[in-house]
Amino acid sequence: MAPGSLQGLQLVVCDLRAARAELVGRGVEIGEVQVAGPGGFRPAEDADDLNNQGFAFFTDPDGNRWSVQQITARD
């Protein structure tokens, strides 16, 4: 496969804020935490419950696009 041809890769974590901090600490350029809702994405606030709806996005060095989603409990 050509570098950058993978889109929509997903990493699921229990704590999105901690995972994002870890990635930033390792030099990954990752977007801010966002919350998915009926109107699309919006910046997350400290009080937001991120379970199933919290995301952050980044592109790896090959150009593949990733989303990191928090799932702490399944309904």
φ, ψ (nearest 5 deg) of residue 66:
-120, 150
CATH of 9-70, one of 3.40.710.10, 3.20.20.80, 3.40.50.11540, 3.10.180.10: 3.10.180.10
Q: Tell me the whole-structure pTM to 2 decimals.
A: 0.90
Lowest mean pLDDT among 28-32, 60-64, 70-74: 70-74
Are 34 and 43 a contacting pair, CB within 8 Å?
Answer: yes
- Where along the chain do its domains lie? 9-70
pLDDT digits (tens, 9 = 90+) for 15-60: 999 999 999 999 999 999 999 999 999 999 999 999 999 999 999 9
